[in-house]
Amino acid sequence: MYTPEKERELIEKTKKLLKISIEDIKNKEEAEKIAQELREVIRYHDWRYYVLANPVISDYEYDKLFHLLKDIEKKWPELITPDSPTQRVASGLTKEFPEVRHLAPMLSLDNSYNEEDLRDFDRRVKELTGLSHVEYAVEPKFDGAGISLVYEDNVFIRGATRGDGIVGEDITPNLKTIKTIPLTADFKRFGIKTIEIRGEVLMNKEVFKKLNEERLEEGLPPFANPRNAAAGSLRLQNPKEVAKRKLEAFVYQITYAVDEKGENLLGSKIRYHYDAIKMLYSLGFRTPIPEKEIKLCKDIDEVINYCKEWEEKRDSYPYEIDGMVIKVNDISLYSKLGMTSHHPRWAIAYKFRAKQATTRIIDVVFQVGRTGAVTPVAKLEPVEIGGVTVSSVSLINEDFIREKDIRIGDMVLVERAGDVIPYIVKVIKEARTGKEKPIVFPKNCPSCGSPLVKLPGEAVWRCVNANCPAQVIERIAYFASKDAMDIRGLGLNTVKKFYKLGFLKRIPDIYRLPYEKIKQLEGWGEKSVENLRKAIEESKNRPIHRLITGLSIRYVGKVTARTLAEHIKCVEDLKDWSVEDLEKLPDIGYVVAHSIYDFFHNEENVKMIYELKELGVRTCKEEKAEENVLQGKTFVFTGTLSCCSRDVAQEIVEALGGKTTNSVSKKTDFLVVGENPGSKLKKAQNLGIRIIDEKEFLEMIKNHIPDILKDKIKI
Ligand code: IVH
């Protein structure tokens, strides 16, 4: 999209603009000129960031440019243009989506499932065109929500959903929040006045996983797959909410293009599909990347090989793809090939193995979690989906069961999207025999028998008896789990056993276990008891964020626990914090703040924390070594380290004032690479993040390792 000279020019311009503040601007004329320059450079930096994933300025500098533009537009509102980057996050609410007619009908694709189907397609194409050689462009089939985008005179004027293929819904304000959709693009350079482009809105698999975790936490039904999440997000009424969903748009087909005179350019000036994609890519769109994701194949054998290659790497691709699309490359042949009412004859989809399967629900059981939420779980006739045997699936909550009208004995369609937990997509009602039984939600807790309650605004039934055995067992096991105090040897089954024997009634009992008695139990010997004792002793010195995580405070997972730990000295101090104090912390909203406040205003809970302290569990942060050598630095780890576990490495970084996160972003300072690194390495390389090996990492920390961690690391 930008020549090296142009890039240099824009970087120079950026430097100049970064020195300007709103007070320096004398009049409207000057403001207009600067605003134009700002828009130009912001567009360039958006492209570097979102399309290339390789920014050349810091977030801080970007924000500075953006704010200056916003300030100018605030002072001189008449200078706002519809394509200004500031207009991406629209503020108004869209009440409903107006209908809009597509310039060209949005057709579907014919499907193929094997090599033979593809050879048939090739034969048909050759027959209809009378050619003996046909070139194909092959690209991924993105599994998201279909969209069409219209640009006129270089400006993005309208975007719509597929609708019935002829008429769609106008979702322009929502699409404007998606940063991979340029608000302007220089189509005129190619003689194009009006163009309609088709594409797909997708949600990255990681973003999807996180969104679903959040939804479950809030008692909302999760989305079945990234496609539904993307489609649902696009139809949100508030563009500001849409912007939070981090959607991305991929474009893959020009369906309409005319010049100033209204002459059709498809098949003439825009002759080849592969070149059309290259053009869109050069204009800043996210397309299948030329050479990497879209390939020009000279014959059907090459097509078949390329499809198979992608089927292999499907799971490691960050977005869901459900197949490949094979398109005749020469657009001038499209009219000869024609189309059916449903699909064009110049393209075909090659579908990968489905991630869905049908099976039967044999039974439904009810599980009580550590926060008392009662989850219905369907037991299934085991079925293989994408190489994994699935024999149970969460039915989420009562609303979900009612909405889908799920009954015991039903045939159901189950999906395992990406590597997420299985999900019931729908009931096959046609397969019903009349013998299916409705699922009766219990009125009482299946573990302790106390009446279940549903709080206003919540979808989950809960057992509110804090002493409910199922909850207590889950909470103790969670306290000891890897995410919290990491006590090896104290898993769920052991906790259950010790609970039954009366050894473990509450969390503090972990630190009072009767080891002599345990030695007498079947399956336990001197050695295993000694290992358990050691693991429990070691857990007393864990960093306090682990203790906070282990308390099972609602809405407080590992991330929030770390935030809290960063702002307190001792865990017990939280009893003196008000809701307002808590809300001031990053990413802690009203609901979470209330939950924390309630937890620390329950006498039992505070007593438990003091009891743990008495038993030798660390509840206060270690006085920081005078040398916070890693202060302000963010580390990410990938691959296996030989010195120590990743947890220990992270704890050392934190003890030295640094931060650790699990994924690489622009904010990462160092990526530490161990043996067999994962995809984070590539991402860090793309983002230009400093990459260091284990040796360099150890060099940085070796003279500063806190005493309690010294025996956990080999240097
Ligand atoms: S071409 C006129 N290319 O898959 C044909 N479609 O199941 C235009 N899709 O309706 C479609 N990736 O929404 C094309 N690379 C790709 C695609 C793609 C996903 C969608 C599209 C289509 C559906 C058919």
Mean pLDDT of 47-60: 75
Q: Tell me, using a 6 A CB cutoff, whether residue 555 lines ligand 1.
A: no
Q: Tell me, using a 6 A CB cutoff, whether residue 202 lines ligand 1.
A: no
Torsion of CA 670, 674, 678, 684, to 10 degrees: 20
Q: Tell me, using a 6 A CB cutoff, whether residue 254 lines ligand 1.
A: no
606 vs 421: which has the higher pLDDT: 606
Per-residue model confidence as pLDDT tens digits over 660-704:
988 899 999 999 999 888 888 888 988 889 999 999 999 889 888
Q: How far apart are the first and last CA of the chain?
A: 48
CA of 349 to the centre of ligand 1 (A): 8
Give the closest residue (by CA) to ligand 1 atom 13: 146
Atom of ligand 1 nearest to the CA of 108: 10
Atom of ligand 1 nearest to the CA of 347: 5
199 vs 356: which has the higher pLDDT: 199
| % of the chain residues with pLDDT over 90 | 66
DSSP state letters, 43-91: HHHHIIIIISS--SS-HHHHHHHHHHHHHHHHH-GGG--TT-GGGSS--
Neighbours of 388 (CB within 10 A): 10
pLDDT of residue 94: 43
Q: Determine the residue of 103, 234, 252 to mutate for testing ligand 1's pocket, defined as the one with the most ligand atoms within 8 A of the Cβ atom.
A: 252
Three-state DSSP state, 359: strand
Mean pLDDT of 217-230: 82
DSSP β-ladder status, 437-438 and 407-408: antiparallel
Give residue 92's pLDDT band: very low, low, confident or very high (50, 70, 90). very low
Q: Determine the residue of 107, 162, 200 to mutate for testing ligand 1's pocket, defined as the one with the most ligand atoms within 8 A of the Cβ atom.
A: 200
Three-state DSSP state, 524: coil
The structure tokens listed for 512 are 């009072």
DSSP state letters, 659-705: EE-SS--TT--EEEE-BS--THHHHHHHHT-EEEEHHHHHHHHTT--
Q: Is the pLDDT of residue 39 over 70?
A: yes
pLDDT of residue 277: 98
Q: Tell me, using a 6 A CB cutoff, whether residue 139 lines ligand 1.
A: yes
Mean pLDDT of 233-255: 91
Q: Which helix (H) or strand (E) holds 617?
A: none
pLDDT of residue 639: 87
pLDDT of residue 626: 52
CA of 141 to the centre of ligand 1 (A): 6
Q: Tell me, using a 6 A CB cutoff, whether residue 142 lines ligand 1.
A: yes
Atom of ligand 1 nearest to the CA of 109: 24
Q: Are 458 and 249 in contact (CB under 8 A)?
A: no
Q: Tell me, using a 6 A CB cutoff, whether residue 108 lines ligand 1.
A: yes
Per-residue model confidence as pLDDT tens digits over 4-30:
899 999 999 999 999 999 999 999 999
- Of 532, 565, 569, 582, nearest to 651 by C-alpha is 565
Dist. CA 357–CA 236, nearest whole Å: 30
Question: In the annotation, is 141 catalytic?
Answer: yes
CA of 101 to the centre of ligand 1 (A): 19
Q: In angstroms, how far apart are the furthest CA atoms of the chain?
A: 93
Give the closest residue (by CA) to ligand 1 atom 10: 108
CA of 168 to the centre of ligand 1 (A): 16
pLDDT of residue 64: 85
Q: Is the pLDDT of residue 54 over 80?
A: no
The structure tokens listed for 21 are 């503040």
CA of 204 to the centre of ligand 1 (A): 18
Q: Is the pLDDT of residue 464 over 70?
A: yes
pLDDT of residue 104: 92
Q: Tell me, using a 6 A CB cutoff, whether residue 347 lines ligand 1.
A: yes
Give the closest residue (by CA) to ligand 1 atom 22: 108
264 vs 1: which has the higher pLDDT: 264
Neighbours of 348 (CB within 10 A): 27
Name beta bridge partners: 101: 167
pLDDT of residue 321: 93
Three-state DSSP state, 396: coil
Q: Is the pLDDT of residue 89 over 70?
A: no
Atom of ligand 1 nearest to the CA of 106: 2
Q: Tell me, using a 6 A CB cutoff, whether residue 436 lines ligand 1.
A: no
Q: Tell me, using a 6 A CB cutoff, whether residue 677 lines ligand 1.
A: no
Give residue 91's pLDDT band: very low, low, confident or very high (50, 70, 90). very low
Contacting residues for 162 by C-beta, under 8 A, at least 6 apart: 106, 145, 146, 147, 148, 168
Mean pLDDT of 353-370: 92
Neighbours of 404 (CB within 10 A): 17
DSSP classification of residue 675:
B
Q: Is the pLDDT of residue 707 over 80?
A: no
Per-residue model confidence as pLDDT tens digits over 579-618:
999 999 988 888 899 999 999 999 999 999 999 999 999 9
pLDDT of residue 53: 64
Mean pLDDT of 278-289: 96
Per-residue model confidence as pLDDT tens digits over 298-329:
999 999 999 999 998 888 899 999 999 999 99
Q: Tell me, using a 6 A CB cutoff, whether residue 507 lines ligand 1.
A: no
CA of 322 to the centre of ligand 1 (A): 11
pLDDT of residue 20: 93
Catalytic residue selected from 141, 209, 351, 683: 141
Mean pLDDT of 438-451: 95
Mean pLDDT of 125-141: 97
CA of 164 to the centre of ligand 1 (A): 15
Dist. CA 261–CA 193, nearest whole Å: 9
Which residue do the tokens 């459900």 mark?
322
Domains for the chain: give ranges and CATH numbers.
Answer: 4-87 (1.10.287.610), 111-351 (3.30.470.30), 356-438 (2.40.50.140), 469-539 (1.10.150.20), 544-614 (1.10.150.20), 625-712 (3.40.50.10190)
Give residue 474's pLDDT band: very low, low, confident or very high (50, 70, 90). very high
Contacting residues for 312 by C-beta, under 8 A, at least 6 apart: none
pLDDT of residue 49: 74
DSSP state letters, 349-401: EEEPPPSEEEEEEEEEEEEE-TTSBEEEEEEEEEEEETTEEEEEEE---HHHH
Q: Is the pLDDT of residue 217 over 80?
A: no
Give residue 206's pLDDT band: very low, low, confident or very high (50, 70, 90). confident
Residue 201's alpha-carbon distances to 143, 149, 162, 264, 429, in angstroms, are 9, 11, 11, 27, 31
pLDDT of residue 420: 66
**Mean per-residue pLDDT of the chain:** 91
Q: Is the pLDDT of residue 88 over 90?
A: no
